[in-house]
Amino acid sequence: MSTLPADSEPTAEEIAAQKVIEQRKVDAMTKLRSERDALFPSTDKYVMRDYPINDETFEKWKRYRQHLRDLPGMSSPDLDEDGNLTGVEWDAEKAAQAAQAIQAAELARIPVPPLER
């Protein structure tokens, strides 16, 4: 915020600084959407009704994917000095829980080959 009196115009430096901030916010939202969109393909199969998982795990994946869809509207993304996203809650815990449930279910269905002698 500027501490200039209400009747004075912003300086060229202030205008330039504000434009940099605005562009960084646009870039952060673009990066958020790009990273979010990259997560969807790896979870597509888990929300297909014919994928063999239980209803509880199916619902966990649906909630996780809904969380991903909601991220742009519920986040205030920004970029740090290294270009990393800040201000975004990815909810990695939900993804990890759902992934563990899937992995356990898939391992339970995989036949174990007999040991060779």
Q: Nearest-CA neighbor of 95 among 51, 49, 38?
A: 38
Residues 35-48 pLDDT 10s: 999 989 988 988 89
* Per-residue confidence (pLDDT) for residue 101, from 0 to 100: 64
* Per-residue confidence (pLDDT) for residue 64, from 0 to 100: 87
0.85 exceeded by pTM: no
In Å, what is the CA distance from 84 to each residue of 11, 22, 41, 76?
A: 30, 16, 22, 13
